[in-house]
Structure 1
Amino acid sequence: MKRKILLYVLLFVSITLRGNVYFKHLGKTDGLSQISVISICQDELGRMWFGTLEGLSCYDGNSMTVYKPSQDSVRSFLGNNVDNLVSDKQGNLFFISDYALVRYDLRKEQFSLLKQRANCLHVHNQEVWAAIRDSVFKWDRQKEEFAFIYQLSVKKYITYLYVDDNECVWLGTTDGLYRVDNLDNPAPVCVIPKVNVLSLYRDTKGKMWVAAFRQGMYTIENGISQQFVDEQNFLLSNNDIRCFVEDDEGSIWVGTFNGLNKIDTLGNVSCYKKDTQPGSLKHSSIFSLCKDSQGTIWVGTYYGGVQYFNPQVDIFTHYSEGVGRKDCLSFFFVGNMVEDKRGDVWICTEGGGLNYLHRDSRQFTHYLTDEKSVSPLFSNLKCIEYDEGRDCLYIGTHKQGFFCFDITARKVVYHTEKMGKSLSKIILRGDSLYILSGDGLYVKDLKQETMGYLYPSIRETHRAGSSFLIDSKDYIWIAQHDQLVRINMKMPEEKYIYKYNERGLGKFQVLNIVEYTDGTLYFGTYGAGLYVFNPAENSFKQCSIFDIRYCYNLSVIQGDYLAVSCEKGLLVYHPKTQEMKMIDAENQLHLSAINDGCGLLSCSDGEVFVGGTSGMASFMSHSLFNPSPRYNLYFSSLFVNDKLVSCETSDRILETALPFADQINLEYNENNILDFSRFDLTD
């Protein structure tokens, strides 16, 4: 019976697509032994091991332990270059150092130099395989040595080996890719002739990914009767492919000489390269990829250290400043925002004019700051409102008054300063535009083209304010520097004045007001936290949640959660269930800070945009309360009478490494301190 082999080489064209992953970084300042990371693996405790050009590093989520070459072959090893790191999850690490095969016993904390000089290593179902020249070996735990399994009959030098779930052995060589289906009847099948195989990876759908030295990439569908068929061509950033890994969402990440590429389940490709923007790769040349037990992807770079991210847990997209770049904002301080009828977002900045975000492409267009443009320059924008019927924006500025921006024409259509030069907030209801400025509260009739004070005879409305709200009962609330004003819009003579530090309201100014889905009103203050209004008692009560004091902006987001931007970040709180989550500004939103004036927008599809002093972040609200991945907790260090104890110290307190110890032997006069480690980078 003839064997049919169908194979297609994938062609590559350089691309410049940029994704939205925010990479975290480990380098020399974090204790990494050297910044060229050529191999990565995870042990059974959850610790990450990094092989570099100058030694081995172990990271437990808090600190780094470094193993450098030494003449002491028990506590160290002789080589510099550490490659092909694998863990059998049974207490052993194996790696190749300067062509020598080395084992590290995690329980004894000892290195041992094995007799063989291996080409490459692979682990499958806790069994470690090694290729030595043209032969395959497997680790024998009883004899503690690698036992011979198979010799490739074509006498090729094996560069990479992979054992799949069907126990088929794939052998990449310097002159072709071979597969052995049955080691008892080892007739190799040449899958791809005349290629120098650098790396092999099989995804969860059974597709084999093959990296060929400077010859691009192959994908192989392993069919019946040894048919091999590839499915699709991909456009990647470079033809020199090094490594692969699949994330928990089914996307394949491809490391190349010039960029990290992501191929999603629909075949869309995005590319990540070294950039000056925050959260970018430190180096574009990728040596190694690894997915840990929590789904975090670890990236080893050439002279850029380690980068890592979790596609499922890192749900926050960061947008930074980059003048002239379509993937960046025009200015770092992001103010108020609105969504238009297309689902796109219009953004006020406090120095870079108006920004438009096309949400499908995540590309920006910058308006009103180009000196060559025929439109007037408006750099410092304070408030914005969208008119769906007229498809235009009403925008208030700092000291430049108020104007309308026609979205279809992409130009300013009128501009007036009749109501004051600096505006705080604009609200559209029907054909009436309510505007709060430094001179008070105005209303503009868009049909009649008339404008004036909303209440000419109510002097309290002729003052500056920080914000205002028209609630569902047609009361208008105005927050001023020393008081709140409430007026019945149907009967303006019904007026209430709430001085700060009275009726339960704190002594600090109200910055923003929001109405919850059940009609409850919340007030964010500048120093006293969040307050709720009790209409039955005509009083206020402080909401003691998460010890926040500065509430810059408020919004009700999908799922009936109340979002509060504050000094700590973004608090998401459900008033009825009491469920809450604090999203840290720096560590999660990747914003240096959130401050007064920073915007907060909840879009119709549930995406939330958070403005900050160093850009903007967004996330899908339904992703916030996804369950966190599991993590390991173990004892990491033991101090007895203020001295660090290990299985190598002469006191014999520990018979094995502490994380693996069943018991600790102490005398009555020996005091101890145990440190815990928890490898969890998803917080």
Structure 2
Amino acid sequence: MKEHLNFESLKRLSLTLRWLSPLAFFLTSHLLAGQVDSARASEYTITKRLLSIENGLASHEVFCGLQDSSGFLWFGTRNGLNRYDGQHSLLFTRQRDRLQENKVVQLAKDDANRFFILYGSSGFQLIANGKVDIMDATTQRIQTLTAAFPNLPFKEKDVYWVANDGTGEVSILTVSPFRYWKYSSKTGFRLRFEMKDWKANGMEYDYRVSGPNCTFTAGKALLKLNNQEIQYLVTDNGVTAFRQHNVLRSLPIGFTHKNELLLTYNTAENPDNFAIDKLSKHGKLETIADPSEYNLGPVKSRYWFQVASGGDATAFYIPTDALFIWNKNAFLRVVDRSELKGFENLFVYQLFPDSLGNIWVCTSLGVIQVKLNKNRFKPYFSGSQQNIQPNSQARGIYADRAGNVAANIWSHTFTQQANKMRALQHQEIHYSLVKHRSALYSGGYTLFRYDIETNKAKPYPAGLGSEIWSMFSLNDSLLLMGRTEGFSIFNSNTKRFDSLPTRNTPGANAKFVYRFFRDNDGMLWAVAENGLYKFQTISESRKPTADNSNWSIAKLQSPFLNTLSLLDAYRDRDGIFWLATNGEGLFRWDLKANTSRQFNITAGLPSDVLYRIEPDEFGNLWISSDYGLIRFNRKTFQVSTYTTADGISHNEFNRTSSFKADDGRLFFGGLNGVNAFNPSDFRTDSSTLDVPFRIISFSQFIGSKNTLVNKTAELLKTRKITLAPSDKFLTVDFQLLDFTKNEGHRYAYKIDGFDGDWNYINENSIRISGLPHGQFTLRIKAQNREGAWNRMELSIPITVLKPVYLQWWFILLILVLFTMGVFLIIRLRLKQLAWEKRKLEEIVNERTMQLKQSVSEQSALLMEKDVLMKEIHHRVKNNLQVISGLLELQSKTLTDDTARTALQEGRNRVRSIALIHQNLYQLENLSTINLKQFIGDLCRQVKSVFQKQKDVTISIHVPELHLDIDSAVPIGLILNELLSNSFKYAFSNVEIGMIGLEITELDEGRYQLRYSDNGPGLPEDFSLTSAPTLGLQLIKDLSRQIGGKVQYQTLNGAVFTINFTNREVRKTQD
């Protein structure tokens, strides 16, 4: 805690600062507004930044602060209580969150993660006003002290200070009487000590401002009312009372490693020079003659305006100089006056440590975050160590066992011998630096021999060429050089240069050769930007010479290597190549198995641009990058990254800039000189990042309300998320509480049961939508700027409820309703069918009666029609018979044979038609005739006419076939003509006449008529198409009428073939 000025001085300072405070706020320095590059003070690296209203704090004035059990920081300000997560500040106020006041002057946390919030009166001083709230840091529920503890052993208005002492208990100071209480959730309130010698009544000094004068740390408490009253040191071993005499101002410093209380003070005799006392075990104050014994040398004999202690650190402030911090091991200048505008008006209220080693200094201008790290890196030739070369980029490096270090820093070669630094300027940039033949050789475009003792360099202009990026001493005379374009060799005896060609392979010429190295088998390799090159000598002696014909340089052919841009390579004892690339991270390449594995940012590296690789003796590879120095374990693949916060001079390193000394020390060059270290100093470092990783906020779109609802408190309580089917999406905000600048944080999330791989993001917020119903787990992990993945992950179960239509009870209900519905439908349908059946039976009966009557009537009509048709056919037949008789009578009166023959033929044709009508009225079916019966009757009728001429045998083959009358009449007439012709003309020259008549059914409705006789047939020159006789013309025309065509041939007589169809087929064809 902090000792204020005495009352009169405090009043004067209060009046001064009352009008200076606004100006101080306005002049807050931009130098501390963000993360500041680390300052190095001999053995320590100091990293700092200022947080104020620009970072979301409610006020410039921050009176107090602490870290809760979840890792969040809480700050008490003039305008409310802030929770800080490293990126955002959450504000609690009287108006919105029912705090008793907005000015929070002190905070304390118990072992149940509850806060004791002490409020102050308005004005500049930290004057307690007797109001105390209790806040649950997890649920953020706020109650008054009296409401939270109904059986409080003292009155809330009598509390004038609360604090933590590092034990998990809350220390409480009350008045009336003055008492010191301790509280924990397990033991409750217990009285620790009563200050009986203090009297509140009639005091000129207001006890309500005395709380900050007390110190609480490591279970000990220094209780102080003012400089004149007795002070009490309360420890587990008892209470020590003491009084300081003739003291103007007394400021508690803290405790030594032996738990001895240290105080600094001034007296009226020497007001401008503070002295330091130590409280002995016997309660006596002893002056410390040599403060450097406690690393407090700068404290003595200076005037200190303010001292504030907290934990193991104490802040010292002088407005005209700087802000210092003492951590028992060192006294360090943290903030210079020039770094912070308004520094002269700074007021330091309190400081406290967090779990990550940061120190938070609460001031009138905001909160200063300070990180002190023991520096294990030793810088060489950085901008702060030399002003000879403004551009302090390092390239080639060399160091010997004597501690001498040399490096090419841009256009200078620097050497450090003990505490003596020298530099030699060149006319060009120099890259490579190597020890060869007891001298250093440095390369730019030209090769130089550098003499450390004389600090002079001798050029060898004969070797002028492209830049020399790397060199390797083959022996006492030969120096191998890797250039921007290819290789060359220098003989230091003859001073001769030779180029070294590679094998004549397309694309084999080396570009930008960054390193040479020998592997464990003694094989010499070169690392170029475009691949690996293998060197061999081909002479009988196997000894390298400067003759380029003695060398064989071959590029290692590999499709894998051809895709990479190399910056460095290393081959370990197992033959594994480790490849540093420009943009693709690190590769582990097994040449024999031709397998590779990549390590990049997702594997924990801070960058994918890697410059140099140097192995140590502990199985690690030290790799420089464009953001930090990496320690990579070859077996476990664990990664540790070191940045300016750990003591290196700059986060970005350079190509070709590293060196491993014979004593194991490693050197890496970057944009600000060279960094040296011993890897053994880092053996105990953990590769695991273990910092709090918390949910900041959670919002869920509630479909039933059609709005986005903040459900952070519910998620923190239940640790699970439940989504209804109508909930469209959710958002989760989270934060890695390492309290560094958030630009470097990376995150990854994965939904187990939905995602196959991790999704990498740069934002600390995710939005999820479109999840199907089921059980899932949302996993989130965090990575810091140095590439380390945090050990702690967030794991949130997510339940997406099934839609109502997929719930078992809904399905069961639907099945029951469906069954009932089907049952009711069936019942109704059965009733309806029964009714319809009765109705139908009535209709059927009625229709049956109607049909019977109609059928009866139709039958009568049909019978009448049949009788009528038969009568018609009978009368037609009779009429035709009459016509036939008339023709016969007429023929008898004629004397002309031709006319008589014509009448006889006509009479035959009429009789054929009459025969058809006779068959029709004799059959039941009046529309068709029995073709077989009809043809038989026709043949007998025609034969009876001509029987007297000659005996003729007729062979008939006709199937049982009923043919329509439209087809039967033409068939009858055709047969009449054919039979008549055969009887008249065919059998004159034969003894027995034979006629064959055959009808076959070719297909449905298609038939073939074949008629033949054994007569001489038609003349050879006879043509059916131009037949002059009426009979043949009738045959041809009638055949066409029934869909056929007459074909004739003479085959042992005349043969007529006619293919014809019935009426139905002809209708289809038409």
Q: What's the TM-score once normalised by structure 1's chain length?
A: 0.73
Structure 1 residue 206: Cα displacement: 0.2
Q: Does 1:49 align with 2:98?
A: no
Counterpart CA distance in 1 for 2:662 and 2:65 is 42
Is the 2:469–2:656 Cα contact (8 Å) retained in structure 1? no
Structure 1 residue 77: Cα displacement: 1.9
Q: Does 1:679 align with 2:737?
A: yes
Structure 1 residue 110: Cα displacement: 2.8
After TM superposition, list the pairs within 5 Å mapping 1:399-548 onto structure 2.
Answer: 399=445, 401-409=446-454, 411-420=455-464, 422-432=467-477, 433-438=479-484, 440-446=486-492, 448=493, 450-453=495-498, 465-472=512-519, 473-480=521-528, 482=530, 484-489=532-537, 490=542, 495=552, 497-498=554-555, 502=558, 504-517=560-573, 520-526=576-582, 530=586, 541-546=595-600
Q: Does 1:380 align with 2:437?
A: no
User: Residue 597 of structure 1: SS of its match in structure 2?
Assistant: strand
Counterpart CA distance in 1 for 2:529 and 2:632 is 27
* Equivalent AA in structure 2 for residue 97 of structure 1: G
Structure 1 residue 581: Cα displacement: 0.6
User: Residue 418 of structure 1: SS of its match in structure 2?
Assistant: helix
Structure 1 residues 117, 17: closer, same or farther in 2, change over 3 A?
A: farther
After TM superposition, list the pairs within 5 Å mapping 1:181-260 onto structure 2.
Answer: 188-191=241-244, 193-212=246-265, 216=274, 218=276, 220-224=278-282, 226=284, 228=286, 230=288, 232-233=290-291, 234-236=296-298, 239-240=303-304, 241-245=306-310, 254-257=315-318, 258-260=321-323
Structure 1 residue 261: Cα displacement: 3.8
Is the 2:70–2:694 Cα contact (8 Å) retained in structure 1? yes
Counterpart CA distance in 2 for 1:232 and 1:463 is 64
User: Residue 21 of structure 1: SS of its match in structure 2?
Assistant: strand
Structure 1 residue 556: Cα displacement: 1.2
Counterpart CA distance in 2 for 1:338 and 1:222 is 53
Q: CA deviation digits over 1:62-121, x for unaligned, max 9? A: 4222346x5568246243xx4443333440233453423453432254375995487654
Structure 1 residue 350: Cα displacement: 3.4
Give aligned-pair identity as a percent. Answer: 14
Structure 1 residue 166: Cα displacement: 7.6
Q: Does 1:572 align with 2:641?
A: no
Is the 1:532–1:542 Cα contact (8 Å) retained in structure 2? yes
Q: Among 168, 173, 180, which residue is 1:130 paired with?
A: 173
Indicate the RMSD between aligned Cα atoms, in angstroms. Answer: 5.0
List runs of 5+ in structure 2 lacking aligned partners.
1-39, 122-126, 146-154, 267-271, 545-549, 602-606, 703-707, 741-783, 785-1070
Aligned to 1:173: 226
Q: Does 1:97 align with 2:120?
A: yes
Is the 2:358–2:370 Cα contact (8 Å) retained in structure 1? yes
* Equivalent AA in structure 2 for residue 597 of structure 1: R
Structure 1 residue 599: Cα displacement: 2.5
Counterpart CA distance in 1 for 2:626 and 2:283 is 63
Counterpart CA distance in 2 for 1:145 and 1:470 is 71
Counterpart CA distance in 2 for 1:134 and 1:430 is 88
Is the 1:180–1:187 Cα contact (8 Å) retained in structure 2? yes
Structure 1 residues 217, 328: closer, same or farther in 2, change over 3 A?
A: farther
Mean alpha-carbon deviation: is it higher for 282-291 or for 544-553?
282-291
User: Residue 236 of structure 1: SS of its match in structure 2?
Assistant: helix
Q: Tell me the number of residue pairs that the alignment of Structure 1 and Structure 2 aligns.
A: 625
Structure 1 residues 616, 136: closer, same or farther in 2, change over 3 A?
A: farther
Is the 2:431–2:443 Cα contact (8 Å) retained in structure 1? yes
After TM superposition, list the pairs within 5 Å mapping 1:42-121 onto structure 2.
Answer: 42-52=67-77, 55-67=80-92, 70=94, 74-75=98-99, 77-79=101-103, 82-90=104-112, 91-98=114-121, 99-101=127-129, 102-107=131-136, 108-110=140-142, 112=144, 116=157, 120-121=161-162
Q: CA deviation digits over 1:234-276, x for unaligned, max 9? A: 33276414123565xxxx55432343445576x6544233399
Aligned to 2:828: none
Q: Among 398, 401, 410, which residue is 1:350 paired with?
A: 410
Counterpart CA distance in 1 for 2:119 and 2:663 is 50
Structure 1 residue 208: Cα displacement: 1.8
Is the 1:319–1:328 Cα contact (8 Å) retained in structure 2? no
Structure 1 residues 322, 74: closer, same or farther in 2, change over 3 A?
A: same
* Equivalent AA in structure 2 for residue 467 of structure 1: Y
Counterpart CA distance in 2 for 1:608 and 1:165 is 40
Higher Cα radius of gyration:
2
Counterpart CA distance in 2 for 1:380 and 1:337 is 14
Q: Does 1:553 align with 2:585?
A: no
Structure 1 residue 47: Cα displacement: 1.9
Counterpart CA distance in 1 for 2:100 and 2:485 is 74
Q: Does 1:289 align with 2:360?
A: no
Structure 1 residues 224, 127: closer, same or farther in 2, change over 3 A?
A: same
Structure 1 residue 281: Cα displacement: 12
* Equivalent AA in structure 1 for residue 403 of structure 2: G
Q: CA deviation digits over 1:340-370, x for unaligned, max 9? A: 333354343336x345568x98xx95734xx
Mean alpha-carbon deviation: is it higher for 625-634 or for 25-34?
625-634
User: Residue 213 of structure 2: SS of its match in structure 1?
Assistant: strand
Q: CA deviation digits over 1:124-171, x for unaligned, max 9? A: 341222366994453678999999932444877645223576866542
Counterpart CA distance in 2 for 1:133 and 1:331 is 67
Structure number with greater CO (CA < 8 Å, separation at least 6) is 1
Q: Among 338, 345, 354, which residue is 2:398 paired with?
A: 338
Structure 1 residue 424: Cα displacement: 0.7
User: Residue 655 of structure 2: SS of its match in structure 1?
Assistant: coil
Structure 1 residues 467, 264: closer, same or farther in 2, change over 3 A?
A: same
Mean alpha-carbon deviation: is it higher for 102-111 or for 147-156?
147-156
Is the 2:108–2:170 Cα contact (8 Å) retained in structure 1? no
Structure 1 residues 590, 21: closer, same or farther in 2, change over 3 A?
A: same
Aligned to 1:599: 657
List runs of 5+ in structure 1 lacking aligned partners.
1-15, 369-375, 648-653
Is the 2:582–2:608 Cα contact (8 Å) retained in structure 1? yes
Counterpart CA distance in 2 for 1:181 and 1:480 is 69
Aligned to 2:1062: none
Counterpart CA distance in 2 for 1:571 and 1:281 is 37
Counterpart CA distance in 2 for 1:550 and 1:527 is 5
Q: CA deviation digits over 1:278-318, x for unaligned, max 9? A: xx999696823222233332234553642232637x97788
Q: Does 1:306 align with 2:368?
A: yes
Counterpart CA distance in 2 for 1:45 and 1:188 is 38
Aligned to 1:39: 64
Greater fraction helix: 2
Counterpart CA distance in 2 for 1:574 and 1:32 is 42
Structure 1 residue 471: Cα displacement: 0.8
Is the 1:35–1:306 Cα contact (8 Å) retained in structure 2? no
Structure 1 residue 331: Cα displacement: 2.5
Is the 1:209–1:217 Cα contact (8 Å) retained in structure 2? no
Structure 1 residue 425: Cα displacement: 0.9
Structure 1 residue 520: Cα displacement: 4.5
Is the 1:121–1:131 Cα contact (8 Å) retained in structure 2? no
Counterpart CA distance in 1 for 2:395 and 2:342 is 30
Greater fraction strand: 1
Q: CA deviation digits over 1:593-633, x for unaligned, max 9? A: 64662633456676655444466666664537624585456
User: Residue 85 of structure 1: SS of its match in structure 2?
Assistant: strand
